[in-house]
Structure 1
């Protein structure tokens, strides 16, 4: 199973195993990661699963769609070039070792 490391704003790190085909958001919720709220359950309607993809992983997670970029305008924390909605990042074996940073706030 691929592993994902979530980095909290205070640099705390939690690494979890994630099922292929799930989203990064689903992996966070299944493992009780604080900092991913996911109010809409992954429907790309709320921006409360905002995360920052680690620079080393940006090319492997793909670019955000126009719809995702538009939804990020509603994020509670600063939107950066590495911002993604974690519900839109599908877990694959190629993402084993992915690191995402959590923002200061989601709501």
Structure 2
């Protein structure tokens, strides 16, 4: 399972690239729309709904393990992974933007 402390450098590099695109002003609307969709569909902080119960993580869990009731624990683990990953990516992007303000 993904661990933020083990992948932090990789995520920082990737989110830095996104931050550079935002900073350039190119495709600003498309980038903001995409980031908002990730927040709405995958990440924590959506009207008191647990992130792993949002549509994105649920579909990801189903993609990884199907809908077999016997694999519910595995699906939930994947859903939590997807939520944690996207939430962390969005946090790092936001953190980079805050540094420029």
Bin the TM-score by the shorter chain.
Answer: under 0.3
User: Which structure is higher in RCO with an 8 Å CA cutoff and minimum separation 6?
Assistant: 1
Point out the structure with the larger strand share. 1
Structure ID, larger Rg:
2
TM-score, normalised relative to structure 1: 0.22
